[in-house]
């Protein structure tokens, strides 16, 4: 019985004990007890039930604990908590189940009802190398896609390539200038990468138009982006080109639909979207087509999202950088006005990344070409450190990436601290094989007894289900990095106090190998959700 099933069972029992309906227990949830409480799970429902049952919370908790004592070891404490200790057998039998594929996914019938979701992330303009913000967005999107798939969600990942528009034109002008040994325009791109690209241009570039320079630069940079994402462990289901929207006339059709629905008006020679302020989702109306006849990014992005729904997706989730904060409301307003409810569209904004070296922040400017590329960072500190560090903070929090810490080969480095536990457990199993101890011998959980450290490890494994649910709720993998660090600490506490391999006490040896096998699998599987490896030797 996994944690969610235990919670459901206790909820049903509570409804019977107090003769309550479903509405009265809607806030029923098991939680992790605080460190000073010696229990496996805690229940605070009596605090919310006081008004319903017209009793003091402690009295409700005492009645519930008394009714559950036939099945669980439990007790009530002030102001109204029920603390429950699960049996050793419960914890031992659940441990190997947690690491099995599909353990956290709901059954097939329920999965068939899940919405088909497209998750767009990174979507860096193909105007230069990927930078640190791209790495944070890539970690967030790829990790969440892995987590949601582990929970049975139907997720497709997408990189939207803005390969048309003013920025691409500036890129072409900048490359052309570099080819002619000139400085790029003031509003162009000044990075050294364009100098290198210009030196590699074919002889016929002498007769190219600016559009040809733009096409060449976009193709080269996009290929580099694909290589960078592969290096970063991210494999998109689709690289969607904005140009394909225009080739199919989708922005034009979108504008026609907006006009037919009476959602636009003309002013000062431009076409405006008039539903933003009316819906209260935006502070003012926004331009769809400029007075020079060119589409705004806003119109093209509306078309992009409508096309996602047209391709069969029920829900669209976008991950944007901090500079897109003010853009979300207007896009949501447009999609809602065009018939796609708020529940079908979600945007996650991730904050900036600051790179620290020797305790000092490195100043960077992408337009000026003064920045550390994502590839440079991966090559310096390693992929595992990059992904673990990027995942270690929620998207709403600014991230300070300490390069010196990420390179440390010690327990000060959180990813090293976690990976070392996996390597240590692998070493234990290797030593067991050398001593002819069969780690795969069937272990009888019926009469096994657990000490405090063993219980703590097994209980931590059980809570992984809730950790993954929290990741989806907050749309952030940082709960996993916290979980892994805490699991690693529990292992160290266990390993410091107890001998695992003891040929003279095979009963204890078998039990501990049984536990560590589950810990090892959970470590490897959970690290994989972050795109981080689980080394067998360090």
pLDDT in tens, 43-79: 999 999 999 999 999 999 999 999 999 899 999 999 9
User: In this structure, are 433 and 382 located in the same domain?
Assistant: no
**326 confidence band (pLDDT: 50, 70, 90):** confident
Q: Which residues pair with 429 in a beta bridge?
A: none
Q: Residue 56: give its domain's CATH number.
A: 3.30.1360.70
Paired tokens of 241: 């080109």
Share of the chain above pLDDT 90, in %: 88
Is there a domain that residue 535 lies in?
A: no
User: In this structure, are 365 and 426 located in the same domain?
Assistant: no
User: In this structure, are 460 and 504 located in the same domain?
Assistant: yes
User: In this structure, are 402 and 437 located in the same domain?
Assistant: no
User: In this structure, are 55 and 204 located in the same domain?
Assistant: no
Nearest CA among 216, 208, 108, 123 for reference residue 154: 108
User: In this structure, are 137 and 207 located in the same domain?
Assistant: yes
Q: Is the pLDDT of residue 99 over 90?
A: no
User: In this structure, are 75 and 161 located in the same domain?
Assistant: no
Count how many domains the chain has. Answer: 3
User: In this structure, are 234 and 138 located in the same domain?
Assistant: yes
Q: What is the pTM of this model?
A: 0.94
User: In this structure, are 209 and 355 located in the same domain?
Assistant: yes
Distance CA 517, CA 531 (A): 21
Q: Which residues pair with 355 in a beta bridge?
A: 401
pLDDT in tens, 168-188: 999 999 999 999 999 999 999
Given 407, 423, 453, which residue is the final one in a domain?
A: 407
Domain containing residue 71: 3-86
Distance CA 402, CA 409 (A): 14
**106 confidence band (pLDDT: 50, 70, 90):** low
Given 407, 423, 446, which residue is the final one in a domain?
A: 407
pLDDT in tens, 194-217: 999 999 999 999 999 999 999 999
Q: Is 100 exposed, middle or buried (0-12, 13-18, 19+ CB in 10 A)?
A: exposed
């Amino acid at each position: 019985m996994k944690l969610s099933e235990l919670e459901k069972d206790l909820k049903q029992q509570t409804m019977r004990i107090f003769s309550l309906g479903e509405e009265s227990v809607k806030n029923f949830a098991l939680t992790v007890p605080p460190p000073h409480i010696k229990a496996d799970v805690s229940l605070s429902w009596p605090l919310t039930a006081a008004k319903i049952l017209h009793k003091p919370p402690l009295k409700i908790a005492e009645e519930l604990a008394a009714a559950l004592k036939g099945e669980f070891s439990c007790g009530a404490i002030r102001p109204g908590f029920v603390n429950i200790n699960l049996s050793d057998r419960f914890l031992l039998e659940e441990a190997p189940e947690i690491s099995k594929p599909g353990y956290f996914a709901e059954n097939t019938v329920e999965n068939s009802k899940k919405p088909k979701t497209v998750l767009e992330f990174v979507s860096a303009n193909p105007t230069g190398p990927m930078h640190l913000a791209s790495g944070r967005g890539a970690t967030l999107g790829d990790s969440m896609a892995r987590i949601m798939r582990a929970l049975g969600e139907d997720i497709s990942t997408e990189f939207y390539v803005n390969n048309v528009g003013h920025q691409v034109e500036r890129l072409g002008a900048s490359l052309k200038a570099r080819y002619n040994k000139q400085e790029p325009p003031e509003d162009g791109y000044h990075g050294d990468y364009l100098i290198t690209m210009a030196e590699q241009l074919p002889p016929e570039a002498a007769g190219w138009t600016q559009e040809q320079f733009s096409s060449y630069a976009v193709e080269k940079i996009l290929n580099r982006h694909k290589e960078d994402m592969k290096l970063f462990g991210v494999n998109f289901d689709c690289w969607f080109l904005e140009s394909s929207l225009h080739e199919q006339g989708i922005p034009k059709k979108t504008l026609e639909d907006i006009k037919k629905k009476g959602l636009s008006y003309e002013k000062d020679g431009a076409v405006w979207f008039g539903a933003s302020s009316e819906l209260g989702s935006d502070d003012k109306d926004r331009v769809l087509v400029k007075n020079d006849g060119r589409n705004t990014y806003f119109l093209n992005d509306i078309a992009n999202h409508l096309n996602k729904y047209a391709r069969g997706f029920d829900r669209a989730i976008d991950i944007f950088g901090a500079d897109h904060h003010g853009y979300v409301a207007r896009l949501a307003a447009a999609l809602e006005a065009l018939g796609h409810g708020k529940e079908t569209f979600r945007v996650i904004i991730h904050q900036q990344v600051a790179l620290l070296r020797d305790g000092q922040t490195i100043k960077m400017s992408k337009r000026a070409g003064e920045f550390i590329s994502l590839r440079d960072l991966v090559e310096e500190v390693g992929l595992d450190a990059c992904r673990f560090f990027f995942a270690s903070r929620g998207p709403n929090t600014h991230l300070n990436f300490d390069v010196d810490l990420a390179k440390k080969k010690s327990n000060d480095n959180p990813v090293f601290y976690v990976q070392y536990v996996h390597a240590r457990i692998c070493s234990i199993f290797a030593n067991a094989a050398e001593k002819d101890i069969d780690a795969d011998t069937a272990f009888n959980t019926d009469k096994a007894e657990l000490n405090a450290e063993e219980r703590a490890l097994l209980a931590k494994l059980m809570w992984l289900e809730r950790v993954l649910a929290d990741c989806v709720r907050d749309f952030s993998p940082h709960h996993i990095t916290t979980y892994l660090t805490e699991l690693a600490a529990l292992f160290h506490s266990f390993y410091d106090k107890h001998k695992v391999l003891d040929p003279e006490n095979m009963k204890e040896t078998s039990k501990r190998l049984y536990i560590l096998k589950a810990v090892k699998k959970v470590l490897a599987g959970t690290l994989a959700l972050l795109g981080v490896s689980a080394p067998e030797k360090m």
